[in-house]
Structure 1
Amino acid sequence: MSKLILIYASMTGNTEEMSELIVSGIQEAGGDVTVKLVEDCDADLLQDYDGIMLGAYTWGDGELPDEFLDFYEDMDELNLQGKKAAVFGSGDTVYEQFAKAVDLLQDKLVERGASMILEPMKLELNPSGDERENCRAFGRNFVGSTVNV
């Protein structure tokens, strides 16, 4: 089984709720995942995992949360060739750039050599209705796409 990690930042609980639902989906699919708040880990930890999920809310008009800044910069030192990755996060459509932090994380993972195996998941504020199941499906699909053959 692939070794998976999910690292996220959440201010109001929206991205945290997404993370919990995604983890639930991973577990439903038989996967095991390490979950960390971004402020509690270093970027070099990503090298120890086969599958990487990063989640963040967007701050201001398209910025990474302060908690993600050091981690994001430290990713410049990593070679993530062979790693499978996906990104997710919450945003607010009142801003011109909806959930731009998700795009920034995806761009950095690709720049460092990771393969994006799912389309980014972006939600308006917190998951509701069908979005809750979509988050669980995101987790299940991540497991299905990272299984070592």
Structure 2
Amino acid sequence: MKEVNVIYWSSTGNTQAMAEAVGAGVEEAGGKANVIEVSAADASMLKDADSFALGASAMGDEELDAEMDDFVTTVEGICSGKTVGLFGSYDWGDGEWMRKWVDRMTAAGATVVNGEGVIANLTPDDDAVAECKALGAALAK
């Protein structure tokens, strides 16, 4: 059984709901999901993993929250050759923050599932939840 860490930051609960859907997708595919809020996570738990998921909502001018950004900076040093799933919610804009995040992880040597992140405008709808579950299933393989 493959174990997949799903690390997230959420300000309103929307990204947390997405993280839980990613975790459900991992488990439905036969894996074990560890859904962890970033304040309780340590990047070292991802060092030996071949895949994991990171989620965060967009803040301010379509940026990652400072705590999540610090975590991602650390992860950049250990993600080369790994498969990473990215997801998150936003309130306004067009998802530029996610495109930048995908580029950032790709530049660090990671393979981003489907070449893009899963995004939801505010509360994830049924389609976004399904995409999150599919993301989890892909990471569990």
Task: Sort the TM-score into its range (normalised by shorter chain).
Answer: 0.7 to 0.9
Selected match of 1:134 from 127, 131, 137: 131
Contact 1:57 1:99 in 2 (8 A): no
CA distance in 1, matches of 2:22, 2:126: 15
Matches within 5 A, 1:22-61: 22-61=22-61
Contact 1:54 1:105 in 2 (8 A): no
Gap runs ≥5 in structure 1: none
CA distance in 2, matches of 1:92, 1:41: 25
Residue in structure 2 matched with residue 121 of structure 1 by the alignment = 118
**Percent identity of paired positions between Structure 1 and Structure 2:** 34
Answering whether residue 86 of structure 2 is matched by residue 87 of structure 1, we say yes
SS at match of 2:5: strand
TM-score scaled to structure 2, two decimals? 0.85
TM-score scaled to structure 1, two decimals? 0.81
1:68 Cα deviation after fit: 0.9
1:31 Cα deviation after fit: 1.1
Range with bigger deviation, 109-118 or 11-20 = 109-118
SS at match of 1:48: coil
Superposition RMSD in Å: 2.0
Question: Highest CA radius of gyration, 1 or 2?
Answer: 1
Residue in structure 2 matched with residue 112 of structure 1 by the alignment = 108
Q: Cα–Cα, structure 1 residues 62 and 7, in superposed 2: closer, same or farther, change >3 Å? A: same
Q: Cα–Cα, structure 1 residues 83 and 2, in superposed 2: closer, same or farther, change >3 Å? A: farther
1:38 Cα deviation after fit: 1.2
Gap runs ≥5 in structure 2: none
Tell me which amino acid in the other structure corresponds to 1:53. A
Greater strand content:
2
